[in-house]
Amino acid sequence: MKIFNKERGDIKIYIATHSDFVAKVPAIYEPLLVGSDFNVAELVSCKDNVGDNISRKNRSYCELTALYWMWKNSNSDVLGLVHYRRFFPGLAGNSDLFGILGEGEVRHYLARYDILLIKKYQLHKESVYDQYKACHNEADMVAVREIIAKKCPDYNQAFRDVMLGNELVRYNMFVANKTLVDEYCQWLFPLLFELEEVVSVSGYDGYQKRVYGFLAERLFTVWLAKRKPRIKYFGLRNIERQKRRQVVRIWLRAFTRRWLR
């Protein structure tokens, strides 16, 4: 595993957004308009329909159209993906957006870890497979299992372990060295593209059409279980739900964590 040089190297964390993102953010952040083939944002200059892209798939792929664009078009040494309302908590920010992960923290952690993630979600009464079956179309997950068995059978055990377990990495959010991101994307997207050949979303409602984004959360968890990178977990900073007092507590925890680890 290539270790990130914390003194050098370009960092870019893309903010997936469907519309204008107006909050001021540190220089390492870049708003990225997803679904740019049909979504409009006058104040966002970075769009996912430029260069090699799958922007037209956004209604089914969700933030994965941003991930694909980053993989194919960004040359930064470190890549990250967050959402317009979901961030990693940290020490950076200003009066617009306070208490998010900053450049110094990224360099600090990636000198010790391979990838930064939101902490795993714990399912208390059902497995990952059962939860997907209850909320989505089970046949899609069965098809994924069959494609993995055919294309990368060395992932079969990790797939079974994750599906029978009760932990899930949600939101498709991360910060990592680009070499690791490339490795993941080279594994993920061929699986999803083959899945498109056997899955039809024509009868799905708007929510269920997001099938590839939902499946990618499970597949990301599988890839991590097989790949076993060194992971640093964070809580979730939701800027739409958290009030100022909550943010101060998050900032203080981040400050303590930054200097004690």
pLDDT tens digits, residue range 205-251?
Answer: 999 999 999 999 999 999 999 999 999 999 999 988 655 555 455 54
Q: Which residues contact 72 (CB under 8 A, 6 or more apart)?
A: 51, 52, 53
Tens digit of pLDDT for each residue in 114-171?
999 999 999 999 999 999 999 999 999 999 999 999 999 999 999 999 999 999 999 9
Tokens of 122: 């714990």
CA distance 91 to 101: 6
The token pair at 187 is 């594994």
Helix (H, G, I), strand (E, B) or coil at 181: helix
Residue 111 pLDDT greater than 60, yes or no? yes
Token duo for residue 200: 């039809």
With a pLDDT cut of 70, the percent of the chain lying above it is 89
> What percent of the chain shows pLDDT beyond 90?
84
pLDDT-based confidence at 54, cuts 50/70/90? very high
What is residue 30's predicted lDDT score, i.e. its pLDDT? 97
d(Cα 195, Cα 211) in Å, to the nearest integer? 11
Q: How many CB atoms lie within 10 A of CB 121?
A: 16
Identify the pLDDT of residue 58: 98
Which of helix, strand or coil describes residue 139? helix
Instruction: Assess contact for 191 and 219: CB atoms under 8 A.
Output: yes
Highest mean pLDDT among 35-44, 91-100, 244-253: 35-44
Q: Give the rounded distance of the alpha carbon of 124 from its chain centre.
A: 23
What is the Cα–Cα distance from 114 to 153, expressed in whole angstroms?
25
Neighbours of 91 (CB within 10 A): 18
Residue 171 backbone dihedrals phi, psi, to 5 degrees? 80, -5
Asked if residue 195 lies in contact with residue 132, where contact means CB atoms within 8 angstroms, the answer is no
Residue 5: is its pLDDT beyond 60?
Answer: no
Dihedrals phi, psi of 53, to nearest 5 degrees: -155, 165
> Is the pTM higher than 0.85?
yes
Q: Which of 61-70, 79-88, 233-242, 249-258 has the lowest mean pLDDT?
A: 249-258
Strand (E) or helix (H) holding 217: helix 211-227
Between the CA of residue 86 and those of 5, 31, 73, 204, 239, what are the distances in Å?
A: 27, 13, 23, 26, 6
